[in-house]
Structure 1
Amino acid sequence: MQTTLGSKVTFDGVGLHSGAPVRMVVHPASADHGIVFCRTDISDRDPLVVARWDKVTPSKLCTLIENAAGVSVSTIEHIMAALAGLGINNALIEIDGPEVPILDGSSAPFVRAMRRVGTRSQHAVLRAVRVLKPVEVRDGEAVARLEPAAALEINFAIDFADAAIGKQEKHLTMSNGAFVRELMDSRTFCRQADVDYMQAHGLALGGTYENAVVVDGDKVLSPGGLRHADEAVRHKMLDAMGDLALAGGPILGRYVGVRSGHSMTNRLLRALFADPTAWAWEDCTPSQAHSLPGAGVARRIPIAAR
């Protein structure tokens, strides 16, 4: 069955790139609603932006979605990962600015707040996207691929010159709360030189050492150091989880990323859906639902009406 939140949750913070204050309220929504953002600061055009792969528009360093009226919401990947990791299929997200608050740079604050209010099951069948054959996109040494698998798996490899990151690789089957246990608290990361460049060009204006892991060579500059020795690759997996959530339903397949990022994951979804022989909608059976990322990790409250 599909699920939604037990009640609304509110987040206050700043946008990572804009530095502007923002309030975001995540509301329960009816079955088959999907994840939809509503820009409450927009009154002269359609303020609704559907969180779906075909609404993604090119953007540096984050995932940005935009509707036909030119209304956009950026840096959605961490809240999308949190929703997917908790198995929440339907939500209306009101936001009073163009960028989701960065909070601590991970999905953990979103997950913890939504777990407190719990989820409601809904009287509607949950459909998943079954990957039927391999689909791949490349850009130089970067690769993003989807392959058939029984449940969602993520396999990611990165290679950075900075010794504080270096080469890292991790593989997880995203079932039974793996996202919450393994990935949700891993923060976005960058090099100090990149921070200086971005801020000089009007980006990362809301970035701090508290909401990102900043490295310089073999040094971790953020107070407290790393939350995990391989926090960087875990965060890349978190980002992939959020970007794959734009498929419109849970994915039953294996994602392989090598030096991949937001734009490549979106290119991969576009390649998948462009080939009708590569995928199919599938009604989730109870056993399949048990293997989805959010199974058993959110407090369950009485079933909601459709």
Structure 2
Amino acid sequence: MQNTLKSAAVFTGLGLHSGEAVRMVVHPAPADTGVWFRRTDLDLADPLIPARWDAVVPSKLCTLVANPSGVSVSTIEHIMAALAGCAIHNALIEIDGPEVPILDGSSVPFVQTFLEIGLRVQEAPVRAIRVVKPVEVREGEAVARLEPSDNLEIDFRIDFAEAAIGRQEKHLSMANGAFVRELCDSRTFCLQADVDRMRANGLALGGTLENAVVFEDGEVLSPGGLRHDDEPVRHKMLDALGDLSLAGGPILGRYTGIRAGHALTNRLLRALFADASAYRFVDVGGMTDRKLPGMGVHRGDLPVHA
């Protein structure tokens, strides 16, 4: 069955790229609402923005959604991953700025708050998207692919010249709270040279060593080091779940990402929905619920340090 929060969740912090202070409130929403953002700082006729694949517009280094009036919210991938990973299907997210707060650079602050508040079960089945034939998009050496599977699986591979990252790969089924246990605390990462370049271009203004893992010359510059030996690939999987959640419902299929990023995953969703023979909508209930991300998760699934 579908879920929403029992009560509102409040988050405050800085936008990673804008550096602007922002207050964000995640409200419960009725069944079959889906996830929507509402800009509370703009006096416009249409402040609502759907968290949906066809509302994504090109953006550097993050996922950004906008409505036809041009009202937008950026860096939504971590909050979207948290909602999907906690099986929260319906929410209205009010935000008084253009960018979701980065907090610690992972999804764990969102997840922790959601699990503390608790979920309310709604009397409506979850409508999932079952992948029935492979769909793939490529850009250079980067690949994103969806294939049939009984539940959502994520298989990700990265390869960086930076010695402290190198080649990493991981495969997980997202059923039974795996996102909360395995991925939600993995932070965004970059090279110090990337930070310097982004700031020169007016980006990463809210980034610090406390909300991103920064690498330089084989070393981890962020205090405390890594939360996982393979934290970078885990974070890429976190991002992938957030971007895949923009499909409009949980995906039943296997996602493979090879050097893939936000833009390529969105292209993959566009390719999927452009081919009516590649998917079908299915109502999910009963024991099949357990195959969906977040179903049955509880606070004990949170990483020990959270």
1:33 is matched with which residue?
Answer: 33
Query: After TM superposition, what 4+ stretches of structure 1 lie above 4 angstroms from structure 2?
Result: none
Q: TM-score, normalised by structure 1?
A: 0.97
Q: Distance in 2 between matches of 1:99 and 1:136?
A: 30
User: CA offset at residue 285 of structure 1?
Assistant: 2.9
| Structure 2 residue 88 is the aligned partner of structure 1 residue 102 | no
Which has the higher mean CA deviation after the structures are superposed, 191-200 or 43-52?
43-52
The answer (yes or no) to whether the contact 1:16–1:206 under 8 Å persists in 2 is: yes
Match of 2:112 in 1: 112
The alignment status of 1:202 with 2:202, answered yes or no, reads yes
1:1-306 alignment, distance < 5 Å: 1-298=1-298
Q: Where does structure 2 lack aligned partners over 5 or more consecutive residues? A: 300-306
Distance 1:109 1:53 in 2: 24
User: Shift of residue 45 of structure 1?
Assistant: 3.1
For 1:230 and 1:128, how far apart are their aligned partners in 2? 30
SS of structure 2 residue aligned to 1:22: strand
SS at match of 1:277: helix
Give secondary structure in 1 for the equivalent of 2:4. Answer: strand
**Percent identity over paired residues:** 70
- Root-mean-square deviation (Å): 0.7
TM-score (norm 2): 0.97
Q: Matched residue of 1:229: which SS?
A: coil
Number of residue pairs the alignment of both structures matches:
299
SS in 2 for 1:226: coil
Contact 1:129–1:279 (CA under 8 A) maintained in structure 2: yes
Contact 1:38 1:48 (C-alpha < 8 Å) held by counterparts: yes
Question: Is the 1:119–1:298 Cα contact (8 Å) retained in structure 2?
Answer: no
Cα shift at 1:113: 0.4
Residue 190 of structure 1: CA displacement? 0.2
Query: What CA distance in whole angstroms lies between the structure 1 residues aligned with 2:116 and 2:193?
Result: 38
Q: Unaligned 5+ residue runs, structure 1? A: 300-306
Task: Report the 3-state secondary structure (helix = DSSP H, G, I; strand = E; otherwise coil) of the residue aligned with 2:170.
Answer: strand
SS of 1:242's equivalent in the other structure is: helix
Q: Which residue of 2 aligns with 1:302?
A: none
Quote how far apart the aligned CAs of 1:256 are.
0.1
User: What's the CA shift for 1:298?
Assistant: 4.1
Contact 2:125 2:285 in 1 (8 A): no
Deviation at 1:246?
0.1
What is the rounded CA distance, in whole Å, between the counterparts of 2:133 and 2:218 in structure 1?
41
**Alpha-carbon distance in 2 for matches of 1:287, 1:275:** 29
